Amino acid sequence: MSDNKTKELIEIREKLKIMLVENLSLEDINPDDIKTDEPLFGEGLGLDSLDAVEIVVMLQRNFGLEVKDMNKGKEIFYSIDTLADYVYENTKNKS
Amino acid sequence: MSDEKLKATTKKRGNRLGLWFFKISLKLFGLAGAYGLLYFVCSYYLVFDRVTFSVCMAYINRRYPDHSFLRKIYYVYKLFINQGKNLIDRYYIISGQGEFEIEDECNERLNSLFNNPQKGCILLLTHVGNWQAIMPSFSKLIKKPVYLLMRPEDNAALKDMLDIDSEREGIKIISPAGYLGGVVELTHALGQGHIVSIMGDRTYGSDSVEAYFLGQKAHFPYAAFRIAAATGCPVVILFSARVSNKKYRVFYPSIIQPQYSGTQDKRKDIEGWIQEFAQNLEDYAAEYPFQWFVLEDIWAEERKQ
């Protein structure tokens, strides 16, 4: 992986963590406490399906990305890492 | 919610043989003949279906607190009969044996909301009246498909007879049983300017918020309002009511535009929107007391918070 890509992915992960805490009102959680490889839903961060709506909207508003495919959704929404990969790949393709 | 209470909403009622009798009666004697059978069948359920009796009584006790116990039993019986009529009406429409007159009170403002290509709209439905019977006509009226977020029907016999949870012209189903409860599909549909219908009454044991309803705190699901607040879409409350043997009324008591205030806990905002919906529902129960088919004790304490 190139240094540039690594750097960009780190930035996206940080951005996503901050957005999650702000948009989902996770008052007791500090963005730095979120492990980037832990599952977002169920065990892990413990988000529910309604939180997923906020994440879908967050991706649209902040990155102009729309998740249409349910099957891909399962992979994309697994963790901060998978979300960041999706954002990186798709914003890179756009620009 | 206890398993027993949850069973009331998902329990299988009616088998293929029983439904066959209704089909034959409808064919031979028309709607009146099929309705006539209900008086016997519902007597059986009144005596033996204790779970459904108890959840209906939870509503009747609050709607008619001062009435005698015998009258309340009669009211539960009326609820059973009316629900049976609803099912027969749906089969009557779906099987192409006839139609009902639908008096839809959709106005200019609602029409422009429903037909906004930039922004979708959430239609909040309730198990009162007969939303399934009026949905095909609603879809035709607004000239666009309606996405329904709904659980698959558990009763195979009823599912086959009424074509429940099958897509047909103008109606598309999103199943909450899928990954993340179908939110990816419904958020996409709203983004495309479509209408997404969500049920606003039964919680099925999931998280709920409280609102005053018929004098006491009751529990309501709040998915519609959270989705609306996140996506910026309005919530239109749709009620239907059977006003005669050949006519249904469709009306829209409120349009709510959920937006978090930012000054308080988001849950408090949600409770405010739910209270407005509960007030609409209370007005409905005052006007159409025997068209309440929620089949869940929404006042019960034991449930997930």
Q: Is residue B148 part of a domain?
A: yes
Q: Is residue B304 part of a domain?
A: no
A65 inside 8 A of chain B by CB: no
In this complex, the residue of B178, B226, B265 whose CB is nearest that of residue A53 is B226
User: How does pLDDT run across A34-82, given as a tens digit for each residue?
Assistant: 999 999 988 888 898 889 899 999 999 999 998 877 677 788 999 999 9
Show the tokens assigned to A49: 């399906």
Please tell me the predicted confidence (pLDDT) of residue B160: 60
Nearest CA-CA distance, residue A76 and chain B, Å: 11
Degrees to nearest 5, angle at CA B288 with B238 and B105: 35
Domain encompassing residue A75: 3-94
Chains A and B form CB pairs within 8 A to the count of 50
Long-range contacts at B76-82 (CB < 8 A, ≥ 24 apart): B76/B46, B77/B42, B77/B43, B77/B46, B78/B290, B79/B290, B79/B292, B79/B293, B80/B38, B80/B42, B80/B45, B80/B46, B80/B52, B80/B56, B81/B35, B81/B38, B81/B39, B81/B42, B82/B242, B82/B290, B82/B291, B82/B293
B179: chain A residues, CB-CB within 8 Å: 70, 73-74
User: How does pLDDT run across A24-35, given as a tens digit for each residue?
Assistant: 878 788 898 899
B215 inside 8 A of chain A by CB: no
Nearest CA-CA distance, residue A16 and chain B, Å: 17
A50: chain B residues, CB-CB within 8 Å: 181, 183, 223, 226-227
Q: Is residue B274 part of a domain?
A: yes
C-alpha span between B174 and B62 (Å, rounded) = 34
A28 inside 8 A of chain B by CB: no
A74 inside 8 A of chain B by CB: yes
Q: Is residue B187 part of a domain?
A: yes
In B, residues 224-263, which contact A (CB 8 Å cutoff)? 226-227, 230-231
Please tell me the predicted confidence (pLDDT) of residue B3: 53
Nearest CA-CA distance, residue B229 and chain A, Å: 9
In this complex, the residue of B183, B265, B266 whose CB is nearest that of residue A56 is B183
Nearest CA-CA distance, residue B266 and chain A, Å: 8
Q: In total, how many domains does chain B have?
A: 1
Q: What is the pLDDT along chain B (305 residues), one digit of tens a residue?
A: 455 555 555 555 667 777 888 889 999 999 999 999 999 999 999 999 999 999 999 999 999 999 999 999 999 999 999 999 999 998 898 888 998 999 999 999 999 999 988 889 999 999 999 988 888 888 888 878 889 888 766 556 555 655 655 656 677 888 887 778 888 889 889 988 999 999 998 877 678 999 999 999 999 999 999 999 999 999 999 999 999 989 999 999 999 999 999 877 889 999 999 999 999 999 999 999 999 999 899 998 765 44
Between chains, do A73 and B223 touch, taking CB under 8 Å as contact?
Answer: no
Q: What is the DSSP letter of A77?
A: T
Between chains, do A56 and B184 touch, taking CB under 8 Å as contact?
Answer: yes
CATH number of the domain encompassing residue A21: 1.10.1200.10
Q: Is A88 helix (H, G, I), strand (E, B) or coil?
A: helix
Cβ-proximal residues to A41 (8 Å cutoff; 6+ apart), any chain: A47, A48, A49, A51, A52, A77, B180
B179 inside 8 A of chain A by CB: yes
Report the 10 Å Cβ neighbour count for B121: 23
Please tell me the predicted confidence (pLDDT) of residue B302: 61
Between chains, do A77 and B180 touch, taking CB under 8 Å as contact?
Answer: yes
Q: Is residue B300 part of a domain?
A: no
Please tell me the predicted confidence (pLDDT) of residue B214: 97
B173 inside 8 A of chain A by CB: no
SS (H, E, C) chain B: CCHHHHHHHHCCCCCHHHHHHHHHHHHHHHHHHHHHHHHHHHHHHHHHCHHHHHHHHHHHHHHCCCCCHHHHHHHHHHHHHHHHHHHHHHHHHHCCCCCCEEEECCCHHHHHHHCCCCCCEEEEECCECCHHHHHHHHHHHHCCCEEEECCCCCCHHHHHHHCCCCCECCEEEECCCCHHHHHHHHHHHHHCCCEEEEECCCCCCCCCEEEEECCEEEEECCHHHHHHHHHCCCEEECEEEEEECCEEEEECCCEECCCCCCCCCHHHHHHHHHHHHHHHHHHHHHHCCCCECCCCCCCCCCCCC
Return the residue of A nearest to B186 by Cα. A53
Q: Is residue B101 part of a domain?
A: yes
| ipTM of this predicted structure | 0.85
Q: Is residue B305 part of a domain?
A: no
In chain A, what's the furthest Cα-to-Cα distance?
36
Angle between helices B69-94 and B16-48 (to 10 degrees): 170
Q: Are B281 and B129 in contact (CB under 8 A)?
A: no
User: How many residues are present in chain A?
Assistant: 95
Nearest CA-CA distance, residue A82 and chain B, Å: 16
B224: chain A residues, CB-CB within 8 Å: none
Q: Is residue B298 part of a domain?
A: no
C-alpha span between B243 and B27 (Å, rounded) = 23
Nearest CA-CA distance, residue B196 and chain A, Å: 14
Q: In total, how many domains does chain A have?
A: 1
Domain encompassing residue B38: 3-287
Q: Is the pLDDT score of A86 beyond 90?
A: yes
